[in-house]
Amino acid sequence: MAIEVPERPLEAGEFILRAWRPKEAAWYLSARDEDVFAWTTEARSATRDELAATISENNARPKWVALAICRGDGTPIGNISLVPAVGQSGWAEISYWLAPSGRRRGAATRAVGALVDWALAEGDFDGVFLKIAPRNAASIAVAVRCGFREVGREGDAIRFEKRK
């Protein structure tokens, strides 16, 4: 399945979701804290140059949707991505994180909601899912607020799904 990306930034309440810029690689790396590493698969070893190259390559030939979660003025506060699921045609996984300065403002709920709406309406996906650690209460609350349904365990995570 060829990946499509939003042609323009997605509106998410007072936030926007837009493509990452290679020059933002240093911000991306510095914004991750221990909570990001605890709940995601972010690599601690990534370098600015490696990340800038990945952003450039994915912007030119997308393999996944990678968007900066930004304040209305375009300042990044987090990351959200939509990755086609291997072996699950028509499905994609959403993952996200927020820098400490972006938390507890509704940004995750609005960002996930906006990306889900786009993926199911325009992104040629039949369904999207989140895999969340059972102790990650904040992300479980985001899934519930966005209308995801818990469907069971997948490894050491709870799988939440939303279909067209």
pLDDT tens digits, one per residue of 17-47: 999 999 999 999 999 989 898 898 888 888 9
- The DSSP annotation for 100-158 comes to GGGTTSSHHHHHHHHHHHHHHHTS--SEEEEEE-TT-HHHHHHHHHTT-EEEEEETTEE
Phi, psi of 123 (to 5 degrees): -90, 5
Quote the pLDDT of residue 60. 87
- Percentage of the chain exceeding pLDDT 90: 76
Domain range 10-163, CATH class: alpha beta
Instruction: Walk across the sheet containing 15-19 and list its strands.
Output: 10-12, 15-19, 65-71, 76-84, 91-98, 127-132, 157-163, 149-154
Strand partners, 76: 70
Q: 76-129 pLDDT, tens per residue?
A: 999 999 999 988 888 999 999 999 999 988 999 999 999 999 999 987 799 999
Query: 82: part of which helix (H) or strand (E)?
Result: strand 76-84
